[in-house]
Every structure is written in C-alpha cells, then in structure tokens.
C-alpha cells in the first residue's frame, strides 16, 4: 500500500511540475526534399507576391529526447526560384539581386536549438546569401503525423541586410522585408 501511494504521489508531482519524460523519443535524420517546400512572400507596389524555391538540399539530425544537440543544414539553388513570371525569375538572377553567377546558392547551418515549449523550438544558425553571413533565429513547430515529422517554420529577413535588390530597386518598390516559410518533411528513424 505504501509503495502504491508513493508511486501515485510521484506521478501527481511529475504532472504538476511538467517533468514527465517524453513517452517515446523520435529521431529524424533524413529530409524528404520532394515533399518539403520553401516559399516566400513580399510586397511589390503594395501587392503581395508569392514565390518558391524548387531545388534545395537539406540535412537533419534531430532527436526529440535531446533537441539541444540537433543539427541541420540547408543549401538552396538560387536559380530555382519561381517568383511568378519568367521575367521576374530572370531579373532576380542579375547582380542587383542574387547575383547567382557569383553566388549560386544560399546556405543555412544551425548553431543551436532551444526548446520553447512542447514541439516548439528556436533554431539559431548562420544564413549566408550573396557572400554575407548573418545569424538568424528561426521558430519551428514539429508535428508528427503517421511516422513522419513535419518541421514548419518561418522568419522575416531584410533583403538590405544581404544587399539583395540594390540600385534602382532599393527605393521601396519591393518591400525590404521578405517573409520566408518552410516545411521540411522527415520520416521517423
């Protein structure tokens, strides 16, 4: 009887203080790039514009039992952009924008992961675009569906921080803030 009472008391205390261990730790080590997406929105002449990047490579090492040890990296092929028209796609490859002849890829590499709450994380890392590297914090929600992890996140960048859209484009025709959203899909390991 005493053992049963102590076990029950320990369970109640764990629930009260939110220290119950995860029922089952899950590892994610492969990204399904075909099922994953990277998109962005911005304003041009006060209209919202939507676009995507079609080619990227992602690596992932994420264990829900030890998220602070997680690591991820992403390489985006800048010439795979679809900004809604072939004219826009061509313009964005020019030196005033991505200068993709000199800088064909953008990269992100994580440097740390912090748990915010259940399944909510902040991934800190180095984002490099046009040879300029900035530290960014990316809020991410991890959803698990049918043995698949879905990492949803978004961040807002200032294109001026990376010298994207210089010259005649710096006058505000295109918003300085670019909202980036991603969905990385990874099977449980």
What DSSP string describes 51-110? EEE--EEEEEEEETT-GGG-EEEEEEEGGGEE-SSHHHHHHTTSTTTT-TTT--EEEEEE
Q: Give the domains, in start order, of the chain with CATH numbers.
A: 22-187 (2.40.128.110)
Write down the residue that tokens 């490859």 correspond to: 93
Predicted local distance difference test score (pLDDT) of residue 168: 79
Q: CA–CA distance from 83 to each of 60, 125, 139, 163, 185 (Å)?
A: 27, 26, 24, 18, 23
Q: HSE, CB side, 13 Å, CA atoms: give it for residue 168.
A: 3
Assign residue 146 a region: left if phi > 0, alpha if psi is -120 to 50, beta otherwise? left
Four-residue CA torsion sign, 5, 10, 11, 12 = positive
Predicted local distance difference test score (pLDDT) of residue 106: 98
Coil, strand, or helix at residue 170? helix
Take residue 29 and report the two structure tokens written for it: 């080590």
Instruction: List the chain pLDDT tens, one digit each, 189 residues.
Output: 444 433 344 434 443 444 444 457 899 999 999 999 999 999 988 899 999 999 999 999 999 999 999 999 999 999 999 999 999 999 999 999 999 999 999 999 999 999 999 999 999 999 999 999 999 999 999 999 999 999 999 999 999 999 999 887 777 788 999 999 999 999 998
Predicted local distance difference test score (pLDDT) of residue 166: 86
Predicted local distance difference test score (pLDDT) of residue 173: 85
């Amino acid at each position: 009887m005493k053992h049963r009472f102590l076990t029950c008391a320990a369970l109640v205390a764990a629930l009260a203080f939110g220290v119950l261990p995860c029922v089952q730790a899950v590892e994610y080590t492969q990204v399904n790039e075909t099922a994953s997406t990277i998109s962005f929105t911005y304003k041009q002449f006060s209209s919202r514009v939507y676009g995507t990047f079609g080619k990227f490579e992602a690596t992932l090492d994420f264990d829900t039992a030890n998220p602070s040890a997680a690591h991820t990296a992403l390489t985006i092929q800048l010439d795979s952009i679809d900004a809604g028209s072939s004219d826009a796609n061509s313009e964005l490859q020019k030196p005033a924008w991505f200068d993709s002849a000199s800088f064909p890829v953008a990269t992100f590499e994580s440097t740390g992961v912090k748990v915010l709450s259940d399944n909510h994380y902040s991934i800190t890392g180095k984002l490099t675009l046009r040879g300029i590297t900035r530290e960014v914090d990316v809020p991410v929600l991890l959803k698990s569906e049918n043995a698949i992890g879905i990492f949803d996140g978004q961040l807002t960048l200032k294109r001026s921080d990376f010298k994207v859209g210089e010259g005649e484009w710096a006058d505000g025709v295109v918003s300085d803030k670019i909202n980036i959203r991603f969905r990385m899909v990874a099977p449980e390991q």
